[in-house]
Amino acid sequence: MIALIIKRLVATTFVMAFVALFVFGLLHLAPGDPAAVIAGDIATKEDIERIRNALGLDLPFHTQFFNWLGAIMQGDLGTSIFSGRPVAELILQRVEPTLALTTTTILLSVVVAVPLGIVAAWRAGSWVDRSTMGFAVLGFSVPVFVFAYLLIMIFAAHLKLVPVMGYVSPTDDVGGFLRSIALPTVALGVTYVALIARITRASMLEAINQDYIRTAHAKGLGIIPILFRHALRNASVPIVTTVGIGIALLIGGVVVTESVFAIPGLGRLTADSILRRDYPIVQGVILIFSAIYVLINLTIDIIYIIVDPRIRY
């Protein structure tokens, strides 16, 4: 077990090292002068020179990379070209809305999707099953911003139940927070619900056909304990793994959702920085998001290695 965990930790370190090298090297892979690429089409010679100096682009590649990596280890993600402020500080300011949005989305999605998937598997072939799976295909097909605007048109513009956009911090006003986060949560959650419902159904179907489920039926156990205590527990590995892998989907969706609903979070910061060609911020955000994604999945894997004796890779 310990050996397995160490193996996973080493693999994760390699993955993160590659991500860092890739995020850093991307700028140098591009055709042409990286400083000119960052500066954009309308930059003057002085602008390009200023950016070259600020980013240390005149140094050799490996010196640049290790300087950059060393700084990151100390929590220094560089300086924004646009505002001149430290990237780490800009990122920290934007964490709260994104954390709030992703937390509500994950909670809502799991609460909706897992029971849907269980019922769909239990009544496989019924109308519940077919409409759940039909909804899942739709969820994969309607892009998050299309669904977001549909929600805005119906619930904000027409019915006027919630504000069109904006964000209220829960520390200021809990009611306002819930109203401002409702539509973004639903919009962001649709694809995630589709993903989780589908995998729940598939792994529950597999579990339900096992002998121990027949035994549970035979000894007269009710359907609720059979489904939740016996079947779901055994079907949970792929479900929880998918919830973890799906975080990548959420992170991509956050960039779009925050942009649509004008939520001042990390996603919005990413979208704005791309338009301003503020590459240090883009690098920092990608690095942070990837690290979070990798760490969550590492944690899930390790918990399962400890909890589930069947897992031997």
Non-local CB neighbours of 234 within 8 Å, separated by 6+ positions: 207, 210
Spatial distance between the Cα atoms of 297 and 40, rounded to a whole number of angstroms: 37
CA distances for 247 relative to 5, 243, 258, 274, angstroms: 22, 7, 16, 22
The contact pattern for other proteins, residues 164-203, with x = CB under 8 A and - = no contact, is: x--------------------------x---x--x---x-
Q: Which range of residues in 58-66, 177-185, 229-237, 271-279 is near other proteins by CB under 8 A?
A: 271-279
How many residues sit in the footprint of other proteins (CB under 8 A)? 61
Which residue, among 240, 255, 243, 241, has the nearest Cα to 289 in the 3D structure? 255
d(CA 129, CA 126): 5
Tell me, rounded to whole angstroms, the distance of Cα 260 from its chain centroid: 17
Q: Is 248 in the site for other proteins (CB under 8 A)?
A: yes
Kindly tell me which of 99 and 223 has the beta carbon lying closer to other proteins: 99
Binding mask 206-245 for other proteins (x = CB under 8 A): ------------------------------------x--x
Q: Which stretch binds other proteins (CB under 8 A): 65-73, 168-176, 213-221, 284-292?
A: 284-292
Contacts 24+ apart (CB under 8 A), 145-150: 145/187, 145/256, 145/257, 145/259, 145/260, 147/187, 147/190, 148/183, 148/184, 148/187, 148/256, 148/257, 148/260, 148/261, 149/260
Q: How far is the CB of 222 from other proteins (least distance, A)?
A: 30
27 or 305: CB nearest other proteins: 27
Q: Does 10 bind other proteins (CB under 8 A)?
A: no
| SS3 state at 86 | strand
Residue 306: beta bridge partners? none
Stretch that binds other proteins, among 43-51, 77-85, 220-228, 285-293 (CB under 8 A): 285-293
Binder to other proteins among 142, 213, 221, 296 (CB under 8 A)?
A: 142
- Residues in contact with other proteins by CB under 8 A are 11, 14-16, 18-19, 22-23, 26-27, 29-31, 34, 37, 41, 137-138, 140-146, 149-150, 152-153, 157, 164, 191, 195, 198, 202, 242, 245-246, 248-249, 251-253, 255-256, 259-260, 270-271, 274-275, 277, 279, 282-283, 285-286, 289-290, 293-294
